[in-house]
Each structure stands twice: as C-alpha cells, then as structure tokens.
Amino acid sequence: MDSKLKYLVITVLFAGIFAAAVIGYNALSKVYTPPQAELALPGGSTPVKMEETEPAGNEEIVPEDSEDSAEAEDAPEEAPEEEQAEAVPAPDFTIMALDGSMVSLTDRLEDGKPIVLNFWATWCGPCTSELPAFNKAVADYADEITFMMINLTDGQVETVPGVKEFLTENGYSLPVYFDKKGSATGPYGASSIPLTYFITSDGMVVGGHMGSMSEETLYNYLEQLLELEQ
C-alpha cells in the first residue's frame, strides 16, 4: 500500500476512535435536570420543595405577537395552584464505608442529625464539579449535618481503589460510601447523577436536587434543612 494512503487510513482510524471516545464520555457525563417539582421519590411522591438560589432555566418564552399571548392577556388571572408536596420516609440501605465496614442509613440516623445523600461517580463531570463545594460543606457543617457521598461503584468503570486514589489526588476529605450492589442507587432512583437528597433527623426526605450545584445553592439547601430541625 502506498505510504500516503497508509497515512490517510491511520489518520481516519484515529479520528474515528477519538470521536467515539468523546461521544461515549459525553453520554456518561450528561445529566438531565428537570424542574425541581418533578423530582420523584420512592413510591411516586414528591419531596417538600426547597427553594433554589439559581434559576432552573426551564421556562418557555412565548413571542408577544402570538395568538397564545393575546389570549393570555384577555384571560382573567388565576391564582397559582399550590404544589402538593410531602415528606416521605427515606428508604433504608446498607453500603460499604471507606474503612470497609458496612453502614446503613439507620446507623447514621442514630447520630441524631439530618442527612445529605449525594450520588456521584468520578467519570461524571457534573459530579466532580460540585465536589469542592461538598468538601467545604462537610467541614463547615460537621457538627450539624451528616453527609453520605454515595459512589456508584460498578467494579469495572468505577472501582474502590480508583475512587480512593481520586480522593487522595484531589485532597478531598469526603465521607464516601461505595454502593456496589445498587442497595441505595435503586431505591432512590439514581439513574442520572449527580443527585442529592435532604433527609431530616427523623428519617423523612424533605427535598432533593438533580444536577450539579454551586456552593451558594448547596449552602442554601443546608440552611433550609437545619431550619426544619428547629
């Protein structure tokens, strides 16, 4: 085969491999972020809505000159319907802690503090982007809130040694737990990550957030959670 043709074939091959890798990574990292009111809990219930400090960005803008807009101007104003949200019992689970011991949600509730569950993985870009905020929050709220950073550990793409190395390299002091059998991931519907739930000290899920959070948004949620404890 001519050398130029070989070079062309090799170039096309590597370009194809790179494109496939990029597509695969984007597929793993993509997170669907619906309006918070649509965040379903086990049993089909909706958690008590905790206010976000950042816009959801889900609004649909109707052009002013459209027929729908004209009809809306003529129609009488209606009072907005209140969302029928309720707190629901947090499903229990048992997973492995960093030290290799098996720990349940019930075990952590015995500490008498509200709990924050965060489902994440090292391959998830939005997950890793919010870890610095969580790392800071874990230190700032150590005496008031229990954090459980639940890693989706499949044993192949995400492994216990790999996660521990990731934490060391980034200097994180996070309370990480390994969900190797889907014990927590399944009951909490963590098919898209990052996903965070807020649980009161009496074991009731009162809110949640799907997608990554800024430090400001996370701290706002934590303050609301503590207010519910008063």
Please write the tens of the pLDDT for every residue from 175-201: 999 999 999 999 999 989 999 999 999
- Give CA–CA dist 143/127, Å, rounded: 24
| Mean pLDDT of the region 147-158 | 96
Same domain, 135 and 208: yes
**Across residues 47-74, what is the average pLDDT?**
39
Confidence class of residue 133 from pLDDT cuts 50, 70 and 90? Answer: very high
Q: Which two tokens stand for residue 192?
A: 């898209």
Are residues 220 and 108 part of one domain? Answer: yes
95 phi and psi, to 5 degrees? -140, 175
Q: Is the predicted pLDDT of residue 89 greater than 70, yes or no?
A: yes
215 domain-assigned: yes
Distance CA 96, CA 101 (A): 6
Q: How far apart are CA 209 and CA 217, in angstroms?
A: 10
Question: Does any domain span residue 68?
Answer: no
The answer to the question of residue 79 being in a domain is no
Question: Is the domain of 127 the same as that of 146?
Answer: yes
Is the model's pLDDT at 148 over the cut of 50?
yes
**Region 170-174 average pLDDT:** 97
46 and 147 in a single domain? The answer is yes
Q: Is the same domain home to 47 and 90?
A: yes
Q: In this structure, are 120 and 98 located in the same domain?
A: yes
- Residue 43 and residue 3 share a domain: no
Same-domain status, 123 and 45: yes
Average pLDDT over residues 42-48: 44
Report the CATH number at residue 213.
3.40.30.10
Same domain, yes or no: 134 and 206: yes
Domain that holds residue 122: 36-53+86-228
Arithmetic mean of pLDDT, 155-179: 97
pLDDT at 162 over 70: yes
For position 230, what pLDDT does the model report? 87
Is residue 213 one of the residues assigned to a domain?
yes
Residue 93 sits in the same domain as residue 16: no
Average pLDDT, the chain: 76
Number of domains in the chain: 2
